Structure 1
Amino acid sequence: MWQLLHQPYPCEDPARRRWAKAFWIGLFVGVFLLIFQPFGLNNWQTPYKIVKILGFGGITFLITAFIYLVIPGLLPKHFNNENWTVGREIFWITTLITLIGLANYFYLQWLTGSAIHGPDLAGTLIVTFLIGIFPSAASVVVNYIVQLRKYRESAREIPVRDHPEPSISAAVEQRHLITITAENEKDRLSLPATDLLYIESSDNYSTVVYLKDGQPVKVLLRSSLSRLESQLNLDRDPTTGRNPMVRCHRSYIVNLERVEKVTGNAQGYKLHVYDGMFQIPVARKYNETLVAQLKTLQ
């Protein structure tokens, strides 16, 4: 069980999906309370009762949106796939449920005062936590298993070269140099296209990883990844006309000619480069285009 809690779990959802999550959770809470009216709500006599009960859903939506959108924006290094695990996801969802219970408790007290006699604050938090922890843990574990099987099985079907070799002749390779330039227009790096392994974003800098004398080296350039991507988009294989330098993640550009193996876990695909020394993540929105491009290189 302890090992399962430390398994990688997907964390980086787009903002649109987070808004959708907050909306559906809020809608569920509001409709559930309206239909079943627990905690004495069924005996509550008040004007605009339906609107007030649906207010619980509104409170839930606001709390969920804050948790899913604001906090990850304030702590981006903490909320990313590199750090996220099954255990953290369970803890995060349980915390969310507890905060929702706390907010709705105070909302109920504000609406009714002493008109409804429900559990006290401590009792509300304990009940909310106990109710939330088990379905939260179960849903996370089930989703982990589903995503893990999905990406593992799909990764086996993606064609890659067992021992990637440059797709162009050595003579052409020497002429086909790529040049990437930093924002100051002075710092630049020129190298054969087939020597580039990948580029990783580091805040306002980008780390270029390439082969020099057969060994991987790293160079730090002050440039955004998008800027370097636009420069690389101008370079194409002079023999095939294809461009193997592709964006696979918001923080990575990879040379598909150097991908030796594709594996999968619950977070998605991993591209193995240089005998597995480097594992490059693939964001879900790039899955289809990247798989199609890998197939064209065969």
Structure 2
Amino acid sequence: EAPLVAGVADAVREAGVPCFGPSAAAAALEGSKAFAKEVMATAEVPTAMAHVCTDLAQVGEALDAFGPPYVVKDDGLAAGKGVVVTEDRDEALSHAERCLARGAGAAVVIEEFLDGPEISLFCLSDGRTVVPLAPAQDFKRALDGDEGPNTGGMGAYSPLPWAPEDLVEEVVARVAQPTIDEMFRRGTPFAGVLYCGLALTSRGLRVIEFNARFGDPETQVVLARLDSSLCEELLAAATGRLDQQPPLRWSEDAAVTVVIAAHGYPGAVRAGDEIEGVAAAEALPGVHVLHAG
């Protein structure tokens, strides 16, 4: 996400190379949570109520307005570690203070807590057309039993047999297409993958966040089930031809990924531990070991 926000896709396109990835202006959907909230408000996309705060006094007022559990998000990029969800008001304030300490222009977003199961849906776009992939569900807490700090994701699975049958259609109609349309209307079309992080709350579908790229660990389970050519879809998105592509084909099989993280993650990690058992795992049918970082 950092290269996208910095404009790598603009540089590649200027060199005449088709590029799958949003411009710097469009990648702001991930680069600034405050900007994403503004786009969603204009496009009438359902999301959590939020306050954008630039000092601790505003943070305190927003925390008291929503009450616990408190949701505090760094406005900028934080490599999946910028969100704290806690019952402890002091912990929420401390996280906000660390975010604001980044200097001039720093902001935090204080949100209402969204109940209900979370769902991830990646949508390909060429700036106009939206093609959804298969939905997945991931798990953010570091420890068993949904305990421990928030992470960038500790595991995921797809498909979701419990999800409503019209879930994907609803997300495209109410979230992805209106967002893509609004970005086009602003003169900053979003061409690439729009990750929609969603909560199925007691009051209906709500957007938790957008990402401007494929993200772990959901990508692993979603792409493992894709029978169509990923390369053809990405090239079509990069060259404005998504509306000409045949429907995607999906395996009926289920896919699961489990993240085995370094000791201490998502805080200070212990480096240098040996990874064992890779060959034995790879020898099992349908099993792949993917290395990150």
Q: TM-score, normalised by structure 1?
A: 0.21
- Which has more helix, going by share of residues? 1
Q: TM-score, normalised by structure 2?
A: 0.21
Which one has the largest radius of gyration? 1
Q: Which one has more relative contact order, counting CA pairs under 8 Å at least 6 apart? A: 2
